[in-house]
Amino acid sequence: NRTYKIAVIAGDGIGKEVVPEGLKVLRRAQEKFGFTLEIEEFDFASAEYWQGHGQMLPDDWFELLKPFDAIYFGAVGWPSVVPDHVSLWGSLLQFRRSFDQYVNLRPVKLMPGVKSPLADRKPGEVDFWVVRENTEGEYSEVGGKMFEGTDREVVIQETVMSRTGVDRILKFAFDLAQTREKKHLTSATKSNGIAITMPYWDQRVEEMAQNYPEIDVDKFHIDILTANFVLHPDWFDVVVASNLFGDILSDLGPACTGTIGIVPSANINPERNFPSLFEPVHGSAPDIAGRGIANPIGQIWCGSMMLDHLGERDAAAAVLAAIESTLAAGEYLTGDLGGTATTAELGTAIAEALSR
């Protein structure tokens, strides 16, 4: 019946400023396209909640959030109050793992009206996806400390790759490449130096490639891959990477397209056993928080990805088109895009563009 239950968690810093703009556009989309969003807002996963409760989430967060169709998330992290590894492992990383959101999908797309720091690149030339493994890899809880406080101190953190974990992210990436015109998949590796897990990753890529003969597959070590994002962004179509490599590539790619402020991410549980989570790539930006100048486009574009996931394809495309036309018009741009508009002015301009 086209009614969707959405949990909204703004989090910290500019999360609190961009989420209202995202909701402004989503509300406009529901009026125009005739579906219903049942929105419930939560104050946990924030520094204030931590100060009041000594933990980032209520004990029953899993049962509380599980019934939702999606989670619309801002950003979390306020290091002057709670150390980042505590706030992130106490919230966002729990959501990703407990809700088995093993795909982190992030676009790298040069948009009209946005100046790329790469000389002479035009929209259309840079348009690819980073598919990041989101539940294992280098982000592991396996490890520990020994001889703490002595000069023999040792800290260890192991990389974990399971066959299921690697194969399912590769399958998602190959399936995505299959839907694309170029049908090209690039794997991020480092099998020359990281000699156990990364050769295993390469081997699983080769095995998966057997099932997709139409797809043109290549791989680069992560060091030269980062260089090629800058030198040859037009080479890429779908780039699949482990958790940490994908994290790095999904800030680098968006930076190459002008600003990380406009880029969304979808943390997806493709089996739909659990809600998927939609959040911008950027963080809480303490350096600009509270001033009403953050770019809301990353959050608004997340709304488009969320609508697409919910099956509201026309609305999703219309939100993206409204972002593009507003950027192309160039009248309301925030500081990171070279303009002087406030967060709310840019959000309103996109909502208006959607109504047209």
Residues near ligand NAD (CB under 6 A): 14, 75-77, 79, 84, 88, 92, 260-261, 279, 282-288, 294-295, 298, 336
283 or 347: CB nearest ligand IPM: 283
Q: How far is the CB of 244 from Mn ion (least distance, A)?
A: 10
- E-state strands within the chain: 3-11, 36-42, 70-75, 103-109, 127-133, 143-146, 154-157, 184-189, 216-221, 238-241, 264-268, 276-280
Residue 37, strand partner residues: 4
Please pick, from the candidates 10, 45, 47, 88, the single residue that binds ligand IPM as defined by CB under 6 A.
88
Question: Which partner from the list ligand NAD, Mn ion, ligand IPM, none does 287 bind, CB cut-off 5 to 8 Å by kind?
Answer: ligand NAD
C-alpha angle 222-223-227 in degrees, rounded to nearest 5: 110
Structure tokens at 244: 């940490």
Structure tokens at 63: 């049962």
Distance CA 71, CA 8 (A): 6
Q: What sign for the dihedral angle of Cα 302, 305, 307, 309?
A: negative
Q: Report CA-CA distances (Å) from 241 to 136, 189, 251.
A: 12, 7, 13
Question: Which partner from the list Mn ion, ligand NAD, ligand IPM, none does 71 bind, CB cut-off 5 to 8 Å by kind?
Answer: none
247 is a site residue for Mn ion (CB under 5 A)? yes
Question: Which partner from the list ligand NAD, Mn ion, ligand IPM, none does 137 bind, CB cut-off 5 to 8 Å by kind?
Answer: none
133 is a site residue for ligand IPM (CB under 6 A)? no
Question: Which partner from the list Mn ion, ligand IPM, ligand NAD, none does 260 bind, CB cut-off 5 to 8 Å by kind?
Answer: ligand NAD
- Please state the φ and ψ torsions of residue 6, each to the nearest 5 degrees: -120, 125
Per-residue string for binding with ligand IPM, 272-291, x by CB under 6 A?
---------x-x--------
127-133 vs 103-109, strand pairing mode: antiparallel
Question: Which partner from the list ligand IPM, Mn ion, ligand NAD, none does 239 bind, CB cut-off 5 to 8 Å by kind?
Answer: none
77 or 258: CB nearest ligand IPM: 77
Site residues, ligand IPM (CB under 6 A): 77, 88, 247, 281, 283
